[in-house]
Every structure is written in structure tokens, then in C-alpha cells.
Amino acid sequence: MPAKGRPPSRQGKGQIGGHFHTEVIRRFRVIAAEKGLTVQSLLAVAINDLFEKHGHPRIADQQRLPRGGVRDEVAE
């Protein structure tokens, strides 16, 4: 494994987090499930929407690896 014991898929990446009311978390998870996305993939879509709203490029990684599956693009 590379430095700091990080898997290659996490090299060059950081984590964004926040504390929200449980209802916010529940609704976010429901939307992710309805769209067939992981929470991380839905968060990338939301971050890209925010970037676009403020005139920045959509650079958040929107690819996902389903458990045991093949990498595919996330539909918005």
C-alpha cells in the first residue's frame, strides 16, 4: 500500500464532512437509493451542481464502483 496506508483509490483525495440533523441524512440516503447511487456519488453530483452554480468547472469525481462491479459513469 502507498504512503500512510491509504489504498491507491484514495491517493490524492481528502474527505469533506459536516454534521446535519438526522432527517437531512435520511432524505439524502433516500434520494441516493432512489437514483441507485452511493451516498458518495450523490454528494459528487451535489458538489458539481454547486460548482456550476458559482461558475466553477464540474470537477468532482462522479464515477462509482458498485460493490464487486465494473466502473460506470453516474447519471445526473
Residue 7 falls inside a structural domain? no
**Stretch 44-69: mean pLDDT, rounded?**
82
Domain around 63: 20-73
For residue range 3-29, what is the model confidence (pLDDT) as tens digits?
A: 568 888 888 888 999 999 999 999 999
Q: Is 30 exposed, middle or buried (0-12, 13-18, 19+ CB in 10 A)?
A: exposed
**Contact (CB, 8 A) for 64 and 40:** yes
Residue 5 falls inside a structural domain? no
Residue 68: per-residue pLDDT: 37
Residue 67 falls inside a structural domain? yes
The 3-state DSSP class for residue 64 equals strand
Quote the pTM value. 0.73
Residue 63 falls inside a structural domain? yes
The strand pairing partners of 73, in sequence order, are 63
Residue 10: per-residue pLDDT: 82
Residue 41 falls inside a structural domain? yes
- Structurally, the chain folds into a number of domains equal to 1
**Contact (CB, 8 A) for 25 and 52:** no
